[in-house]
Amino acid sequence: MSAVSDRLPTFPWDKLEPYKKTAAAHPDGIVDLSVGTPVDPVPELIQKALVAAADSPGYPTVWGTPELRDAITGWVERRLGARGVTHRHVLPIVGSKELVAWLPTQLGLGPGDTVAYPRLAYPTYEVGARLARADHEVYDDPTTDLDPAGLKLLWLNSPSNPTGKVLGKEELTRIVAWAREHGVLVLSDECYLELGWEAEPVSVLHPDVNGGSFDGIVAVHSLSKRSNLAGYRAAFLAGDPAVLGPLLEIRKHGGMMTSAPTQAAVVAALGDDTHVREQRGRYAARRTALRRALLDHGFRIEHSEASLYLWATREESCWDTVAHLAERGILVAPGDFYGRAGDRFVRVALTATDERIEAAVRRLAG
């Protein structure tokens, strides 16, 4: 067995440390826009639900409580426009990152099987393929760029991390039809779906995309961004029961259980849309201010019609841009973290307090 270090790429964030030190030396402190971790409070109704379930001495179940499954199925139908969703169509997970990293392994993929993901993408898609020792390919358009022979798992990501690009309904419909024609499982990472700004994201679970059938498609959703629950590790899958059923059995054996208090918190979070609208409002205001400041500073912004990031370039090496901003006390993520195609872009997160966003705007104007 090869060493884990031989199978995995270098953890990208380690490369940012020198620039983080530079930014932190700014007299007014660092403005860290490099990561997408929420900074606003967990809504009170969710905290109350968590506390009320704190006395949970027994083991939770992997499939979750019936109340949790009801909450997920209700939200999927109400928010995503899906139809005919039952408990068999949903599965709680311990945050979406663990699912992305371990799904190829849990599906039994290995050498000779191919996992594909966008050319610019969240690095964990590649990590998941490597952990399973599966082959991996990148694409701009899967229907023209990929050979379906050996392709077992196709990751979609709309809205995209890092670019904020949204796949339209027609494009999603075409990709799903192509994947079904070739027997390829589609996993659609939709964790930013409720954060559309200049486009309205659509789920693969919508009947206009899938023709009213969940065959061969699974969507991934997270409460980290919509409800500020990154610290709770709360997410779920929805889609094809023929995929979710075996995954449930595997995850039972692996003990991959969402904690009972977190399950209760998710029920409260999915049943309330008000806090989501309020959080969207905060991000919208931060996005408007930061976007204008970047444009005035000489940046060009590409895509970025949704999600929590601005995909920006000064038409130079991403690391030169990282250094340029670090000198101003602003830390951003270099685009090549997300693939070689991003080597002239940086990802600028909206996940900072209003005060820190205002500080970044002042520094960019100076």
pLDDT tens per residue across span 318-351: 999 999 999 999 999 999 999 999 999 999 999 9
- The whole-number pLDDT of residue 3 equals 57
Share of the chain above pLDDT 90, in %: 95
Distance (Å, rounded) from C-alpha 61 to C-alpha 355?
41
The DSSP call for residue 191 is T
The β-bridge relationship of strands 31-32 and 330-331 is parallel
Q: How far apart are CA 356 and CA 28, in angstroms?
A: 10
Q: Could you tell me the pTM of the whole model?
A: 0.95
286, 287, 291, 292: CA torsion to nearest 10: -50
pLDDT averaged over every residue in the chain: 96
CA nearest to 69, candidates 87, 81, 53, 82: 87
Residue 354, pLDDT score: 98
What ranges do the domains of the chain cover? 4-41+275-365, 44-270
pLDDT tens digit string along 168-194?
Answer: 999 999 999 999 999 999 999 999 999
Pairing of strands 31-32, 135-139: unpaired
| Cβ atoms of residues 88 and 247 within 8 Å | no
Q: How confident is the model over 271-328, as pLDDT tens digits?
A: 999 999 999 999 999 999 999 999 999 999 999 999 999 999 999 999 999 999 999 9
4-41+275-365 maps to CATH 2.40.30.10: no
Identify whether 66 is preceded by a cis peptide bond (ω within 30 of 0).
no
Report the amino acid identity of residue 212.
Answer: G
| Residue 155 three-state SS | strand
* pLDDT at residue 1, as a whole number: 43
- Do domains 4-41+275-365 and 44-270 share one topology? The answer is no
CATH code linked to domain 44-270? 3.40.640.10
Q: Which pLDDT tens digit goes with each residue over 207-225?
A: 999 999 999 999 999 999 9
